[in-house]
Amino acid sequence: MIIRDLRQFSSLFRQYTELRSQENRVLSIAYLQGNLVQNVRNATSGISARVYSGGSWGFASTPDQSKVREVIAEATSNAVFLDSREQMGLGSFTPETPVVEVNYGTTKQRLTQKEIMDFTKAVDDYIAKKYPNLSSRSVRLDCLDMEKTLLTSDGAYLYSLIPRSIFVISLSMDKNSDPVEVYDIAGGRGQFEDVFSKPEDLFPTIDELYEHLVKKSEGVYPEAGVKECVLDSQLAGILAHEAIGHTTEADMVIGGSVAGDFLNKQAASPLVSLADFAHSYNGEPCPIPIHVDDEGTAAEDVMLIEKGILTGYMHNKHSARHFNAKPTGNARAFTYRDEPLIRMRNTAILPGTSKLEDMIASIEDGYYLIQPSNGQADTTSEFMFGIVLGYEIKNGKLGRAIKDTTISGVAFDVLQNVTMVSDDMTWSCAGMCGKKQLIPVGMGGPAVKTKINIGGR
């Protein structure tokens, strides 16, 4: 439940104020070994206000949406407390006044809880019946709806509903008493009815995953050291997000990120272009389409690297003023009680001209790395990603699967060493990025060929 008409409260604004009403709704169903270990719904709704006073911000929130007056008063009191002590004397921001209503919810008839449960069970039953030799299996469905309204005292207004629905499927088998595991993700932006039509659509994904599992169970430890690798699109996406994206968030640049030294300089191979898309790519909605951010700024695409040159940073209002730049619409908050922070939206390396098979064929001794587990990066752009699915490349051909490992490197070096970029593009919408708050993000990319440090034993 959110308050659709926030304009009724505009007379309560005394200073620059952002008023947001939001509800996040979650459905989570998980089967582990055929046991229903999770069958949960969450709904978190409330209202928040953020008030600006002379350079200081005050924020307050409450789940009781009848207390709009009180929450504005408390946010104001917090801003005034800080301003009275810090006295930064900063002026107001340039007004932004976009008015946008976007709804990515389904127009189809909503399925019942039972229909969704039966769908999930059918996916689990398929695995149990077809692959009885597994030591373990899990099927998890996560659906998230983020619905909000935002009004600023400058007159910016937003209504948005952004949903996503995702299945995560994991399979394990024992090999010499050691469990070996693979997983895959299906789904993306949209409510369940728009993303999944019938369980059978997921069966080819499961069959392919099982084939990978069998190969991985015979897998070998990769050889540690710097190797030529083809990073498949999911890895390119996480590289774009974790290793480059975070260093180009303007608050990280202020905090000493290495990207501060690279602006307008050659930071990557000329084959590499990288952007944080606001809401659309090639005329299609991105995984997490942001039209207006949580400060009321109209969201724009940010070209971070263009043909190897680092061209810009992602901004909120505060950092834009610091860098004498325009806010880019990257200020995002996950729940009603979170303040907006500079966050990525849909970060991707742009496609090139090579074919994946040619990229693999061009490597004599290296690896084709397909599935990441997680990733972390640093102010230096040094990063690490867990790799849970990959193959050796020997003499231009795929070889044995590899066991779980980790790759690492300095992202700007890794991107300098990119020699081929594939001509396709895949988006992933399953990620939750952590930076004080968790928030859903989109990542995308083609496959890239580069040199990378791979862990081993």
Partner 1 sequence: MRAALDFCLETLRQKNVDKFQCSLQKTKQYEMNLEGLDFTLIRTTAENTLSITVIQDQRKGSITVNRLDQDGIVEAVDSALELASTSQQDPDYDISPPQEAQKFTSGPQEPDPERMYELLKEYTQQVPQLFPSIKLMESALLHRQVHAYFVNSNGVQFETEQGNYSFSSIFSSKEGEKTTSFNYTGFAAKDLEKSLLEQATLKTLLTQSVEHLEAQPFSGKFVGDVIITPDCLESLLWGYVMTFLSDGPMIAGISPFQDKLGQKVASNKLTLSSEPVSPAMADGYFVTSDGFAAENVTLIEEGVLKSFLLSLYGSKKTGKERAKNQGGCFVIQPGDKSLAEMISQVKQGLLVGRYSGGSPSPNGDFSGVAKNSYYIEDGKIKYPVTETMIAGNMAEMFANIKEISAERIDYGAGLIPYMLSTGVTVSGK
The interface with partner 1 within residues 92-151 (CB under 8 A) comprises 112-114, 117-118, 121, 135-136, 138
- Please, are residues 365 and 451 in contact by the beta-carbon 8 Å criterion? no
Q: Which residue has the tokens 């309204």?
A: 149
Phi then psi dihedrals of residue 315, to 5 deg: -125, 155
Least separation in angstroms between residue 41's CB and partner 1 is 5
Q: Which residues of 56-79 are buried (b: 16+ CB within 10 A; e: fewer)?
A: bbbbbbbeebebbeebbbbbbebb
Least separation in angstroms between residue 375's CB and partner 1 is 8
> Which strands, in side-by-side order, build the sheet including 426-428?
309-310, 302-306, 274-277, 346-349, 442-445, 426-428
Phi then psi dihedrals of residue 275, to 5 deg: -140, 155
Binders of partner 1 in range 383-402 (CB under 8 A): 384-386, 388
- Angle at 419 (CA atoms; ends 359, 309), nearest 5 degrees: 140
Please identify, using beta-carbon distances, which residue of 326 and 435 lies nearer to partner 1: 435
Selection from 288, 270, 271 nearest residue 279 by Cα:
288
- Please, are residues 445 and 221 in contact by the beta-carbon 8 Å criterion? no
DSSP 422: B
- Please, are residues 128 and 185 in contact by the beta-carbon 8 Å criterion? no
Least separation in angstroms between residue 243's CB and partner 1 is 12
If binding is defined by CB under 8 A, does position 414 make contact with partner 1? no
- Which residue in the set 179, 218, 358, 438 belongs to the binding site for partner 1 (CB under 8 A)? 179
Please identify, using beta-carbon distances, which residue of 399 and 455 lies nearer to partner 1: 455
If binding is defined by CB under 8 A, does position 263 make contact with partner 1? no
Selection from 221, 133, 222, 127 nearest residue 183 by Cα:
127
If binding is defined by CB under 8 A, does position 85 make contact with partner 1? yes
Binders of partner 1 in range 311-330 (CB under 8 A): 318
- Which residue in the set 237, 409, 444, 445 belongs to the binding site for partner 1 (CB under 8 A)? 409
Please identify, using beta-carbon distances, which residue of 275 and 454 lies nearer to partner 1: 454
Q: Is 171 helix (H, G, I), strand (E, B) or coil?
A: strand
Binders of partner 1 in range 295-314 (CB under 8 A): none
Please identify, using beta-carbon distances, which residue of 15 and 406 lies nearer to partner 1: 406
- Which residue in the set 21, 61, 191, 330 belongs to the binding site for partner 1 (CB under 8 A)? 61
Least separation in angstroms between residue 406's CB and partner 1 is 4
Binders of partner 1 in range 203-242 (CB under 8 A): 224-226
- Which residue in the set 10, 12, 15, 32 belongs to the binding site for partner 1 (CB under 8 A)? 32
